[in-house]
Amino acid sequence: MAEEKSGKSIFPALQEGLSLAFFAGMCVLLLLQLISRYLFSRPLLFTEEFSRFCYVWIAFIGLAVAHRRNDHIRIDLFLNWLPERARRAWETMIAIVSMAILGYLGWWGVEYLFFNAYSVAASVDFHLYYVYAALPAGCALGIANLAVRLFARPSGGGRAEKEK
């Protein structure tokens, strides 16, 4: 919104930069896997597993970024027919319900994180705690992004201005 365009907030850039770093890491790991397997006939065991770990983090950071941008898949045919006030009320309700669902998932993500705190990856001695932390982290970022979007709405009204 206005905060992002003026460059005052570094938080959105950090989220996108982090997801880009995980994506680049995943690409490098998969390239290493291809090179080691097909050129040297000696596959590196850790590359496939760590690329999956990167993918998990990409998915949950991407969830948060999509909430910030309001880019989740949805059917908005009837929403566009509503008057502006009713549309804003509906979007507010959806944001609150989404925050509740993310809070619930994040809570269970923390439970799962501590339940599997001592699990180790199959191919390397890497604690899966860092991978399982993606769910509560992504949910927390999603809630934060929804809260910012909910409370920092542009005065002209939401999505119609965004699409111009």
What is the structure's pLDDT at 154?
59
Q: Which residues, at least 6 apart from 71, have a Cβ–Cβ distance to it below 8 Å?
A: none
Using one digit for the tens of pLDDT, what is the confidence trace for 75-86? 777 888 888 898
What is the structure's pLDDT at 3?
45
In 3D space, the residue among 17, 18, 11, 14 whose CA is nearest the CA of residue 134 turns out to be 18
What is the structure's pLDDT at 8?
58
Output b/e per residue, 114-146; b: 16+ Cβ within 10 A.
Answer: eeeeeeebeeeebebeebbbbbbbbbbbbbbbb
What is the structure's pLDDT at 56?
94
Instruction: Please determine, for residue 141, whether its predicted confidence score (pLDDT) is greater than 80.
Output: yes
Count of other CB atoms within 10 angstroms of residue 150 = 15
What is the structure's pLDDT at 54?
94
Identity of residue 134: A
Q: Using a pLDDT cut of 70, give the percent of the chain over it.
A: 88
In 3D space, the residue among 53, 51, 97, 109 whose CA is nearest the CA of residue 72 turns out to be 97
Using one digit for the tens of pLDDT, what is the confidence trace for 1-59? 444 454 457 888 889 989 999 999 999 999 999 999 888 888 888 888 899 999 999 99
